[in-house]
Homo-oligomer: A and B are copies of this chain.
Amino acid sequence: MNFSIHTIPFGIFSFGESKKCLATAIDDKVVDLSYLANEGFFDDFDIPRPVFSQPYLNDFISLGKKKTGAVRNLLQTLLKNPTPEVMEAYFYYKQVDMHLPVKVGDYTDFYSSEQHAYNVGVMFRDPENALLPNWKHLPVAYHGRASSIRVSGTPVHRPKGQMKPKDADKPVFGPSKRLDFELEMATIIGKGTELGESVSVNEAEDYVFGFQLFNDWSARDIQAWEYVPLGPFLAKNFFSSVSPWVIPIEALEPFRIPAEKQEPEVLPYLKGDALSQFDVKLEVYLRTSTGEEKKISTSNFKHLYWTVAQQIAHHTVGGCDLNVGDVLASGTISGKAGDSYGSMLELSWSGTRPIEIAPGIQRTFLEDGDTVIFKGYADNGKIRVDFGTVENTILPSK
């Protein structure tokens, strides 16, 4: 962990038997914001001190960007040249426990990477019509399970479920044989809407607090059997994981880049004055139980056809309400190159092209004991913003 002064992430930590409370981080230190609050550092912003002593960030996020932005700015000043008083709030990262930072209300998973949708379409359906007809007209999405989202470090048991082997005449039950990760970015909603209210593309980023790395764990064999006609269910809801730190959207301003032109033209409610993506490098590492580790994918948050602003506009256009703490995940982010795909399904091309982790060690899908690690960072040579990691180890089925 190494957070620059440009990052100022927000998370939830505890130390030993202490209660959970809010934290930021600088370099390899965790900074106890409840301590700073109780010393009066944030009193000028008219924020009740207990907001910094909650077990989730939600109350803090609910203050709105004016106040959370003021806290961010002050922290950049305080942590640049910390006084001894400020340093009283420091902990070494390795000394503390990090927790799920946001209490998630509803979780939506988009499907916004064209290469990923294309790859899945080729493998599961028809190479000639890999993208379904709706894909370039709307940001396809489905509702995911909020309850089973956990923080980095939580182990994941291989799920059991129904699958139907090729040529079998009926389904079988057992541990998934095609356990997979999905490399995603989670958008954390920072401002709620009323039922019936729509948010335009141009104002949509006002509703974004920040971002986290997101692993949408998936069991491909369970998914293939269950997903028609209503979408994935048990194939996904056994577990999802997030990195411990929420990176505020303000930290990504230096890394904003124009989105690519969309063709065919989208409907007016999906148009914006200046659609943008964020240039954030994403890496996937696989570590075996014997300690062999390899980077198996290098992707980028920018490899999305639909922007976060368009996702929010689409999500609300029918009147669905958003709440602070909702998660809008990007969907698997795959680049064009074969080594930038965001899932084992794509990297091993449905298991037909094993990936070499080390001499004699290959993977198609994930095995018990494997650890999957996502890392993310933005770096323009002058400014670097890290996302930290989301890292989970696979345990055998219960």
Q: Which chain A residues have a beta carbon within 8 Å of chain B's beta carbons?
A: 105-106, 108-109, 111, 124-125, 132-134, 137-138, 140-148, 150, 157, 159-162, 164, 170-173, 195-196, 198, 219, 222, 225-234, 237-239, 264, 267-269, 314-315, 317-323, 326, 398
Contact = CB atoms under 8 A, between A and B. Distances in A.
B319 A239 contact: yes
A326 B239 contact: no
Contacts of A172: 267
B228 A268 contact: no
A317 B233 contact: no
Contacts of A227: 229-231
19 contacts: A105-B146, A109-B230, A133-B164, A134-B228, A137-B170, A138-B162, A138-B225, A138-B226, A148-B321, A159-B318, A160-B317, A170-B264, A173-B267, A173-B268, A195-B238, A219-B318, A231-B231, A234-B317, A238-B319
B171 A319 contact: no
A142 B173 contact: no
Contacts of A222: 318
Contact of A320 (B173, B238, B268): B238
Interface centre among A144, A145, A230, A232 (most CB of B within 10 A): A230
Contacts of A269: 173
Nearest to A109: B230
Given A106-B146, A195-B150, A171 B267 contact: yes
- Describe A's contact surface by its main secondary structure: loop
A318 B148 CA distance: 11
Contact of A106 (B111, B145, B225): B145
B234 A137 contact: no
A239 B195 contact: yes
Nearest to A398: B196
A234 B318 contact: yes
B323 A142 contact: no
B233 A322 contact: no
Interface centre among A172, A269, A321 (most CB of B within 10 A): A321
A235 to B, nearest CB: 8
Contacts of A145: 106, 143, 320
A37 to B, nearest CB: 28
Nearest to A154: B195
A109 B230 CA distance: 10
B234 A111 contact: no
A230 B231 contact: yes
Contacts of A321: 147-148
A321 B234 CA distance: 11
Contacts of A231: 142, 227, 229-232
Interface centre among A108, A171, A231, A269 (most CB of B within 10 A): A231
Given A137-B162, A162-B137, A219-B318, A147 B234 contact: no
Contacts of A144: 143
A300 to B, nearest CB: 23
Nearest to A137: B171
Contacts of A162: 134, 137-138, 267
A106 B326 CA distance: 12
